[in-house]
Structure 1
C-alpha cells in the first residue's frame, strides 16, 4: 500500500512539473510515466483516464493555494483585510503559476468523470476555498449593515455567495487580462517582462473590493 501510494504521488509530482513547465496540454499519461521513470502502463493503475490524472494535479494546485491563503491571513484581523490579502494571493498565484492556475478551474474537464472511491473528487478541494471567501463576504456585509445607514432600506443586498462569485470573477479577470497584457495596455503599465506593476494591480484589487463590498470606512 505504501509503495503504491508513493508511486501515485510520484506520478502526480511529474504531472505538476509538466503543468508548471510546459502547460496542462503536455500532461499525458505516457509523458507523465516517462517523467516519473515508470512503465507507460503504470499510470492506469491509479488514473484510469487522462482527466483523472489532471484532476489529481489540479488538486495539488488547490492545496498549494489554500496553504498560501492561510499564510496570507495569519496576521490579519478583519474580514475586509483578509479578503484583500486573499485577493492579492489569488492574482499573484495566477501570475506565478500560470499553467496550474489555468488548469485548476477547468471543471468542465476535470470534474467530468467520477474519481476512485478512495480518492476525493476535485470539488472537495475547490468548494471549501469558495466557501471561505463567501463567509468573509457575509461578515463584511454584516459589519457594513451594522455600522452604516442606508437611504434605500428596502433594497436587499445580493446573497453572500452571489457577491463572492462576482468578486471571484473580477479577480480572475484581472489575473487573466494582466497575463495577456491587456490591462497593461489600457492602464499604461509596463509591458510583460517589465516592472511587475504591483501597485497598479493592488489598486485594481482595491477597486474590485470597493465595488462589491462598498468603500472602506474609517
Structure 2
C-alpha cells in the first residue's frame, strides 16, 4: 500500500480531492478519515497534520465548494446585465450546473450536517454565496415602490430553497426525476411563478 507517496506536494489538497471522490461514491457520512488517507496515497496518520478529524476535512471540502459556488453565482449575475430578471434566471441555472458538475462538493455543503457557524472560513464562504443571491433579489425589486419591496433576504432564501428542492427531486436521479420537464425548466418556471406573485413580472 502506498504511504506518503503523493507527488504534488500538497497533502491538504490531496486529502480534499480524495474526500470529494469518496463523498461522490459513498455519500458524506459513509467514509472514514483512514479511507481518505488511503485514497490520497498517504499514511493513516498523515491527515492529522492538517485536520483534527473527518468533520474538519469535510468542512474544508464544503468551504472550497462554497467558494466555487459563490463565484459561479456572482459571475452569472454579472451586475444584473442585461436585466435583473435575466441575471436572476442565470443564477438558477448556475446553481443546477454546480450541483451536476460538483456533486461531491455539493453533498459536503448541504448533506453532511456540518456546523457552518463553528468554522469562520466556512461561514464566510457560505455567506458570500447567500450575499450574491440577496444582491440579485434586491436588484429585482429596485423599480418597485419601497413599500412594495419584499425583504431581499427572504426572497433569496426562498429561491435557494426552491433550487435545492429541484436538485434533490429532479436533478440527481431522485424519484421526481421522471418529470417530463428538465430540472432547469422546473426551476425557471417555479421561480418565474414566484416572482410574478411578488409583482416583479406583470400578469
Smaller-chain TM-score bracket: 0.7 to 0.9
Q: CA RMSD in A?
A: 3.1
1:46 alignment partner in structure 2? 50
1:14–1:32 contact (8 Å) kept in structure 2? yes
Name which of 76, 81, 85 aligns with 2:81.
Answer: 76
Shift in CA distance, 206/27, structure 1 to aligned 2, threshold 3 Å? farther
Q: Which residue of 2 aligns with 1:62?
A: 66
Point out where structure 1 has 5 or more consecutive residues left out of the alignment.
115-119, 147-152, 191-195
- 1:66-145 to structure 2, matched below 5 A, reads 66-74=70-78, 76-106=81-111, 108-111=113-116, 113-114=118-119, 121-145=121-145
Query: What's the offset of the Cα at 1:101?
Result: 1.7
Unaligned runs of 5+ in 2: 1-6
Q: 1:69 to 1:160 in 2, by over 3 A?
A: closer
1:168 aligns with 2:160: yes
Distance 2:112 2:84 in 1: 28
1:124-203 aligned within 5 A: 124-145=124-145, 157-178=149-170, 179=172, 180-182=174-176, 184=178, 188-189=179-180, 196=182, 198-203=184-189
Deviation string for 1:93-127 (max 9, x for gaps)?
2244334323212574243755xxxxx52111100
Secondary structure of 1:166's match? Answer: helix
- The aligned residue for residue 201 of structure 2 is 216
By how many angstroms is 1:46 displaced? 0.5
User: CA, structure 1 residues 27+95, in 2 after alignment: closer, same or farther (shift >3 Å)?
Assistant: same
Contact 2:70 2:132 in 1 (8 A): no
Tell me how many residue pairs correspond in the alignment.
194
What SS does the aligned partner of 1:143 have? coil
Alignment partners' CA distance in 1, 2:35 and 2:125 = 26
Distance in 1 separating the partners of 2:101 and 2:196 = 25
Of the candidates 18, 25, 28, which is equivalent to residue 29 of structure 2? 25
